[in-house]
Amino acid sequence: MSAVEKYALITGGAGFIGTNLARRLMSEGKPVLVYDNLSRPGVEKNLAWLRDKHGLRLLIDIADVRDPFSLKKAVKGAGSVYHLAAQVAVTTSMTDPVSDFEVNARGTLNLLEALRSMKTPPPLIFTSTNKTYGDLRDITIRSNTTRYEVDDPGLGAYGIGEDRSIELHSPYGCSKGAADQYVLDYARSFGIRAAVFRMSCIYGPHQFGTEDQGWVAHFLISSIEDKPIIIYGDGMQVRDVLFVDDLIGAFLLAMDNIDSVSGHAFNIGGGPENTTSLLELLNMIENLHGKRPELRFDAWRAGDQRYYVSDLRKFKTFTGWTQKVSFGEGVRVLYEWLLETRGASQLEASQSEQATAAKEAL
C-alpha cells in the first residue's frame, strides 16, 4: 500500500457485515481501516481472520464512535466510508436507552461532523434499519399454518417502499431513525455525498447471531449446539432475508453511483422472492440438520413487526442491482460454515467432556 493510497473506512468493521465487506474490498486490492471497539462477543475472531488473510492491507483502529477525536483522525485518510457501527438490539435499547442513543445517534452525528470538517469529504454509506417504519400494525394480515400474509395484493407483490411514513418504535428505532435522518439531511444541507440503506434481515458467514439480533444464524447455531430456541410471538412473522454477499454488492454499487444515490434512502433485503417465517426457517433447518430444535414461546416484544418485506424497485432502478444467492442456497452456505467453525469445536468440547467423565468413572 502506497503512502498516499486512500483506504476504505469501515466503522464496526469487525462485525458480521463489516468483516464481509472488508474481505471483499481487500480481495480487490484495496486497503481497509477497520474501526471497531470490539464490544460484541466473538468479533475479535473476525479481526484475526481478516489479518491472517490480508496482512498489511488491513489497518486496525480499536476505537469507539462516541469518541469524536478518534473519528476525525480516522476519516482523514479515507477515500470512502461505510458506517456500520451500532448498538443493534431492541432489547438492549429498552434496558439502556441512553447508551443506545449515544452509540447510534450521537456516534453517527460525530462521524458526520468529522466529514463536514474536511475540505473534500469522502462519500458515505450508512446502514439503517426497517425498524424506522415502526410495528406496521396498520397493515392488514391473515395467517395460514406457517406464516402471515397481507391482504393488499400490491404490498404482497412488491413489499414495503421508501414512501412508507417513518414511525419510530422503541429506543432502538428512535436512535437509528434519528441517525438515518441526520445522514440524509447532511447530504441535503451540507452536500456530503451519502446514502442510507434501511436493511431487513441479513445473514451469512461470520455472523455471531443471538436471539436479539442475527436470528437466522442464531437458529442455526442453537440447532448445531442442541440448545432450545425461544420464539417471541407465534413464529408466523415474515421477513425478507438477504445473503451478505448480495448486500456487499449493493454497497459497492451504491458507492460506484454515489452522485446519483446521494441523499436517498433505500430499502434493502431479500424482497418478495426471498421471504420466510420463523416457523418455515425451522422446517428448513430440520431438513438440513436432521433434527428440530426444542422450541419455547414467549410474548411479543416491543415494536415487533408481524410482516416486513422490502420493496427493492427503487435501488434496482438507480443501480441495476440484482441478487445472486437464493435463501435456500444461502442458509446452506451459512450452515456449512457454522459446522466448520463452531460445530467442530462443539464436537471437540463434547468429546473432551466425555473423556473426562470416563476418567472420573474409573
**Pick from 322, 184, 320: which is nearest to 257 by CA?**
320
Using DSSP's 3-state secondary structure scheme, residue 308 falls into: strand
Q: What angle do CA 199, 201, 207 make, to 5 degrees?
A: 110
pTM, two decimals, is: 0.92
- Segment 139-151 shows an average pLDDT of 94
Q: What angle do CA 337, 338, 340 make, to 5 degrees?
A: 65
The pLDDT of residue 302 is 78
- Catalytic residue (one of 172, 232, 307, 335): 172
pLDDT at 356 over 90: no
Going by pLDDT thresholds of 50, 70 and 90, the confidence category of residue 343 is low
**Pick from 242, 244, 314: which is nearest to 274 by CA?**
242
Domain 86-348 sits in CATH at 3.40.50.720
The pLDDT of residue 3 is 54
Q: Where do the structural domains in the chain lie, given as residue ranges?
A: 86-348
Q: Say how far apart CA 169 and CA 94 lie, in whole Å.
A: 11
> What residues contact 225, with CB distance under 8 A and at least 6 apart?
342, 346
- Segment 270-282 shows an average pLDDT of 96
Whole-angstrom CA distances from 268 to 2, 140, 199, 209, 321 are: 35, 22, 5, 20, 11
E strands, 107-160, are 124-129, 141-143, 148-150
Mean pLDDT, the chain, whole residue set: 92
β-strand partners of 266: 197
Cβ atoms 268, 197 nearer than 8 A? yes
The pLDDT of residue 342 is 77
The pLDDT of residue 349 is 43
Mark 271-289 as b/e (b = at least 16 C-beta within 10 Å): bbebbbbbbbbbebbeebb
* Backbone angles phi and psi of 185, in degrees to 5: -75, -35
Task: Output the nine-digit C-alpha cell for 343.
Answer: 460445530
The DSSP output letter for 273 is T
Going by pLDDT thresholds of 50, 70 and 90, the confidence category of residue 220 is very high
Identify the top-confidence range among 86-95, 236-245, 296-305. Answer: 236-245
pLDDT at 354 over 60: no
The pLDDT of residue 360 is 44
Cβ atoms 104, 63 nearer than 8 A? no
Is 172 designated active site? yes
- Segment 197-216 shows an average pLDDT of 89
Q: Say how far apart CA 87 and CA 110 lie, in whole Å.
A: 15
pLDDT at 350 over 50: no
Q: Say how far apart CA 46 and CA 43 lie, in whole Å.
A: 5
